[in-house]
Amino acid sequence: MSTKNVDVITAAQSRGARALLNMTQPELAERAGLGLSTVVDFEKSRRKVSIDAISAIQRALVSAGVKFIHENGGGAGVRLSTPKK
Dihedral of alpha carbons 39, 42, 45, 50, sign? positive
Residue-wise pLDDT for 11-27, tens only, equals 999 999 999 999 999 99
Residue-wise pLDDT for 37-68, tens only, equals 999 999 999 999 999 999 999 999 999 999 99
pTM of the predicted structure, to 2 decimals: 0.85
Q: How many angstroms separate the CA atoms of 54 and 51, rounded? A: 5
Based on DSSP, count helices (H) and strands (E) in the chain, helices before strands.
4, 2
Alpha helices in the chain (DSSP H): 11-21, 25-32, 36-43, 51-64
pLDDT of residue 28: 98
Domain assignments of the chain as residue spans, ordered by start: 11-69
Architecture of domain 11-69: Orthogonal Bundle (1.10)
